[in-house]
């Protein structure tokens, strides 16, 4: 008798399973695990990499930023007996971080704000000979962010970038029209991604359905995780973050690539 074939996927994040645990025990948790993301290779990308993910009950983004700073400081002190590192010819004081909003970062490095499709199209037309105008906001945002904003984040000092457009809030709460999440950068390398965790199951379901529709257009047939949605009903007020350990090691050891 032939068994029915079932398509399964490698996980991109431990987040859903960890939140199920968090909703039950309602106390701080962490995990170090392997995750998989099929991105194109680069000096800072691997299909399989190691992630530290942690959740803190009754924490907010500012508390999580302090956690992040302390991880960097303590690992540097363990390695070098000081909270300073050298990376790509620059010296970084891990006790001194800049905080900047997404809007501020866009305007600083491009002269435009990401809420205007017209302005982003105009910027890219001026910068790129073969650019074709589009009204796809996400396409414009990610193109400009990847090539004209991200490379400069954390160049002078370690940097937190926060207050994301609501379209990019993922599993973070949205307040005052901004996604309550942050990313931490050193010399253009994203190292940490943190959220003020969404605990509204109806809002989560809307976001997941929207994401599944997009994935299906790309040829992926993922199923709605109803258990994850149900879990959110019991999720305590919390904040959580993920840290790419391969990238952290690359930066701390002043390596040219995570493939070394």
Residues 110, 134, single domain; the answer is: yes
Residues 16, 93, single domain; the answer is: yes
Q: Which percentage of the chain shows pLDDT scores above 70? A: 98
170 falls in which pLDDT band (50, 70, 90)? confident
Farthest-apart Cα atoms in the chain, separation: 65
Identify any residues that bridge with 162 across adjacent strands, giving them in sequence order: 101, 182
Taking the C-alpha atoms of residue 158 and residue 183, their distance in angstroms, rounded to an integer, is 11
Residue 79 lies in a domain: yes
Domain that holds residue 118: 102-148
Which region among 43-52, 117-126, 140-149 has the lowest average model confidence (pLDDT)?
43-52
Residues 82, 116, single domain; the answer is: no
Q: Over 80: is that where the pLDDT of 9 sits?
A: no
Residue 198 lies in a domain: no
* Structure confidence by residue, pLDDT tens digits, 171-189: 999 999 999 999 999 999 9
Residue 67 lies in a domain: yes
Residues 20, 35, single domain; the answer is: yes
Taking the C-alpha atoms of residue 106 and residue 144, their distance in angstroms, rounded to an integer, is 8
Write the CB contacts of 135 (distance below 8 Å, at least 6 apart in sequence).
Answer: 117
**Nearest Cα to Cα of residue 50 among 21, 77, 94, 13:** 13
pLDDT at 199: 94
Provide the sign of the torsion angle of the four alpha carbons 39, 42, 46, 52, taken in this order. negative
Q: Over 80: is that where the pLDDT of 140 sits?
A: yes
CB 43 within 8 A of CB 199: no
pLDDT at 2: 67
Residue where a domain terminates, one of 116, 148, 180: 148
Average pLDDT over residues 85-107: 98
pTM, entire model: 0.93
Q: What CATH number is attached to the domain comprising 46?
A: 3.30.930.10
Q: How far is CA 213 from the centre of its chain?
A: 21
pLDDT at 46: 87
CB 68 within 8 A of CB 56: no
Average pLDDT over residues 97-110: 98
Strand, coil or helix: what is 70?
helix
Residues 51, 128, single domain; the answer is: no
Which carries the bigger pLDDT value, residue 170 or residue 73?
Answer: 73
pLDDT at 1: 62
Average pLDDT over residues 4-26: 89
Taking the C-alpha atoms of residue 51 and residue 100, their distance in angstroms, rounded to an integer, is 25
Residue 177 lies in a domain: no
* Structure confidence by residue, pLDDT tens digits, 184-212: 999 999 999 999 999 999 999 999 999 88
Residues 51, 85, single domain; the answer is: yes
Taking the C-alpha atoms of residue 77 and residue 57, their distance in angstroms, rounded to an integer, is 27
Residues 108, 39, single domain; the answer is: no
Residue 28 lies in a domain: yes
Residues 75, 116, single domain; the answer is: no
Residues 114, 92, single domain; the answer is: no
Kindly state the DSSP code that residue 258 receives in the 8-state scheme. T
Residue 18 lies in a domain: yes
Q: How many CA atoms lie within 13 A of 76 on its CB side?
A: 20
For Cα atoms 84, 89, 94, give the angle at the middle one, nearest 5 degrees: 20
Residue where a domain terminates, one of 128, 148, 168: 148
**What total of structural domains would you count in the chain?**
2
pLDDT at 40: 66
Mean pLDDT of the chain: 94
């Amino acid at each position: 008798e032939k068994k029915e074939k079932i398509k399964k996927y490698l996980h991109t994040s431990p987040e859903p399973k960890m939140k199920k645990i968090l909703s039950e025990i309602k106390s701080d948790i962490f995990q170090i695990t392997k995750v998989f993301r099929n991105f194109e290779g680069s000096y800072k990308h691997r299909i399989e990499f190691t992630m530290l993910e942690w959740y803190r009950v009754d924490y907010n983004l500012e508390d999580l930023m302090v956690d992040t700073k302390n991880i960097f400081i303590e690992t540097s002190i363990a390695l070098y007996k000081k909270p300073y590192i050298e990376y790509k010819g620059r010296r970084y004081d891990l006790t001194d971080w800049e905080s900047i909003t997404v809007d501020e970062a866009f305007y600083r490095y491009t002269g435009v704000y990401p809420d205007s499709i017209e302005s982003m199209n105009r910027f890219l037309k001026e910068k790129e000979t073969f650019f074709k105008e589009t009204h796809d906001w996400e396409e414009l945002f990610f193109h400009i962010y990847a090539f004209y904003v991200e490379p400069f984040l954390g160049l002078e000092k370690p940097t937190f970038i926060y207050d994301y457009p609501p379209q990019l809030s993922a599993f973070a709460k949205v307040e005052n029209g901004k996604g309550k999440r942050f990313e931490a950068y050193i010399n253009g390398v994203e190292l940490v991604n943190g959220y003020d965790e969404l605990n509204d199951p109806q809002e989560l379901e809307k976001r997941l359905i929207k994401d599944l529709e997009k994935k299906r257009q790309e040829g992926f047939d993922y199923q709605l995780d109803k258990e994850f949605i149900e879990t959110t009903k019991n999720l305590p007020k919390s904040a959580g973050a993920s840290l790419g350990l391969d990238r952290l090691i690359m930066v701390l050891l002043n390596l040219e690539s995570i493939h070394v």
